[in-house]
Structure 1
């Protein structure tokens, strides 16, 4: 597949990491997606896609048209159609707040049709870009539409969240939450309430996701991986904590994850990060996520990683 993306111009860059076009035939249809520090807008211009929550009690969704997806705190599955054509937005964790009409907490770990959270539906984007062949022109129109959707005045508390969230982003989550609150001149409870309103989760949870993202994006599958060193750099200070969170977020032990990354190397330029992994062995049916089965391989015990400190 071809991924063409770029950072939008100000003021959108305060809320958006990148806008993109994704087209072509996927090498892997079913992807296992761990939590990442972002929210999303998908505008599907092609065949339907499907999504599954790792919570087996949540029914799958067939994805057509425009959909918002909040910050995820657990993994999910995304099944591409046989041929992909979509445009999308990777929001910063707090970035969706000025574009939707509901508290971010209502979108945590959820995907919802765009017209359910906006009076002016992003389906308009689908209408405008549906006939465009150029990725450059598609992204120009997408950016224009996003600028028109942006509220003139930021919602109350968003500036506080954006400032403190930016510090979490820069430090990859390695900032004490109490220090963030003190620096902003607010209580920890007030900061947590504003994050819950504009991100959907507390700053502590955002820090966890940034920390995990730093670790997973540091993995170079072409070289020997120093798991203890990577984990320590990312801020994990004991073996049990690292092993438990890695298994919880990916469905795999570190050794299983590395084996899959080596078996299925990422396409050059896609995925845009190293988080999503092929859920090998499934074409049209999802694995039993609730039982720990991913890609046809039953997850073994949480790995005991030899620590160097």
Structure 2
């Protein structure tokens, strides 16, 4: 059993609110991307604009346990929506646009972040069917997964939740994982490696087959998946700028593979609706951008 508090990769406390990223055990690194914890229960009710949650586009799938409180989806891209999210356990597919949710009151949330092709291998789910969707967990998963999820909901702390998840997933992942998983390798940083290894291992025989395989595993087109990976690198670079007084936007553009600073700025605005400068300001100053501060 783990210690009472899981180790945190990135931690954020602001005025009593809490947000952190926790790493999985090494044997599950090609399956579980991370765990995210978020709580506003130790502070008085925040102002309405601080009860928003800004989430970037993402290629991953998530399962969120609402241990306390509720949530509503209010914006997808630049479009206003009104969707009460099906707490307490929600499954989210990959997101091709930034989204904003709202908490009517205080919340405590525990989230499991899964690589989409790993979830496909574990469950047989066609991830493409869940892209840009948030559903009640029981609508998607079988009774074994539901029993695990209920145990996680009832657990006494985050360390116990992580242990329950990993004890459930590890034997299933050992049985389900492919001998070679180039897509998982690429999603952790090497797009070129994925393409080369897929061709070398005869995973695909044509461009169309590659597109079909990637869409089934990830829920996204090959091109869109590549774009989201670049977007994730962009958000991480913005966060790193907050920690360094020496970095410039030109430096960030170079490290994230953009042709120049102007290209970087256009792509950032396309994904987030904000200029890099404004995104940096909001990440530094606004509570609702808590995920941008901790994600890596």
Shorter-chain TM range is 0.7 to 0.9
What is the distance in 2 between the residues matched to 1:268 and 1:112?
23
What is the distance in 1 between the residues matched to 2:172 and 2:72?
26
Q: Could you tell me which residue of structure 2 aligns to residue 8 of structure 1? A: 25
What is the distance in 2 between the residues matched to 1:236 and 1:267?
24
Instruction: Report the 3-state secondary structure (helix = DSSP H, G, I; strand = E; otherwise coil) of the residue aligned with 1:210.
Output: helix
Q: 1:66 to 1:123 in 2, by over 3 A?
A: farther
What is the distance in 1 between the residues matched to 2:184 and 2:160?
31
Q: 1:127 to 1:169 in 2, by over 3 A?
A: closer
- Deviation larger for 29-38 or 17-26: 17-26
In the TM superposition, residue 266 of structure 1 has moved relative to its aligned partner by 9.3
What is the distance in 2 between the residues matched to 1:142 and 1:241?
41
Q: Could you tell me which residue of structure 2 aligns to residue 247 of structure 1? A: 269
Instruction: Report the 3-state secondary structure (helix = DSSP H, G, I; strand = E; otherwise coil) of the residue aligned with 1:45.
Output: strand
Instruction: Report the 3-state secondary structure (helix = DSSP H, G, I; strand = E; otherwise coil) of the residue aligned with 2:255.
Output: helix
* Contact 1:3/1:23 (8 A) holds in 2: no
In the TM superposition, residue 271 of structure 1 has moved relative to its aligned partner by 4.8
* Contact 1:50/1:61 (8 A) holds in 2: yes
Instruction: Report the 3-state secondary structure (helix = DSSP H, G, I; strand = E; otherwise coil) of the residue aligned with 2:110.
Output: strand
Map 1:55-204 onto structure 2 (within 5 A): 56=79, 59-120=82-143, 122-147=145-170, 152-153=175-176, 162-171=181-190, 173=191, 175=192, 179=196, 181-185=198-202, 186=204, 187-204=206-223
Q: Could you tell me which residue of structure 2 aligns to residue 31 of structure 1? A: 53
Q: 1:116 to 1:149 in 2, by over 3 A?
A: farther
1:218 aligns with 2:241: no
Instruction: Report the 3-state secondary structure (helix = DSSP H, G, I; strand = E; otherwise coil) of the residue aligned with 1:94.
Output: helix
Q: 1:232 aligns with which of 254, 269, 272?
A: 254
Instruction: Report the 3-state secondary structure (helix = DSSP H, G, I; strand = E; otherwise coil) of the residue aligned with 2:73.
Output: strand
Q: Which has the higher helix share?
A: 2
Q: CA RMSD in A?
A: 3.3
Q: Could you tell me which residue of structure 2 aligns to residue 259 of structure 1? A: 281
* Contact 2:73/2:82 (8 A) holds in 1: no
* Contact 2:249/2:261 (8 A) holds in 1: no
In the TM superposition, residue 87 of structure 1 has moved relative to its aligned partner by 2.2
Q: 2:67 aligns with which of 22, 36, 45?
A: 45
Structure 1: gaps of 5 or more residues: 275-309
Instruction: Report the 3-state secondary structure (helix = DSSP H, G, I; strand = E; otherwise coil) of the residue aligned with 1:3.
Output: strand
What is the distance in 2 between the residues matched to 1:39 and 1:199?
9
Instruction: Report the 3-state secondary structure (helix = DSSP H, G, I; strand = E; otherwise coil) of the residue aligned with 2:234.
Output: helix
Provide, for residues 100-151 of structure 1, a one-character-per-residue CA deviation record: whole Å limited to 9, x for no partner.
Answer: 4531101111112112222226443453244433322222123234447659
Provide, for residues 151-182 of structure 1, a one-character-per-residue CA deviation record: whole Å limited to 9, x for no partner.
Answer: 9445xxx666x3134135323x4x38764553
* Contact 1:15/1:95 (8 A) holds in 2: yes
Instruction: Report the 3-state secondary structure (helix = DSSP H, G, I; strand = E; otherwise coil) of the residue aligned with 1:95.
Output: helix
- Deviation larger for 206-215 or 104-113: 206-215
1:17 aligns with 2:33: yes
Aligned residues: 267
What is the distance in 2 between the residues matched to 1:270 and 1:253?
15
What is the distance in 2 between the residues matched to 1:106 and 1:137?
31
Q: 1:100 to 1:85 in 2, by over 3 A?
A: farther
What is the distance in 2 between the residues matched to 1:29 and 1:135?
22
Instruction: Report the 3-state secondary structure (helix = DSSP H, G, I; strand = E; otherwise coil) of the residue aligned with 2:220.
Output: coil
Instruction: Report the 3-state secondary structure (helix = DSSP H, G, I; strand = E; otherwise coil) of the residue aligned with 2:132.
Output: coil
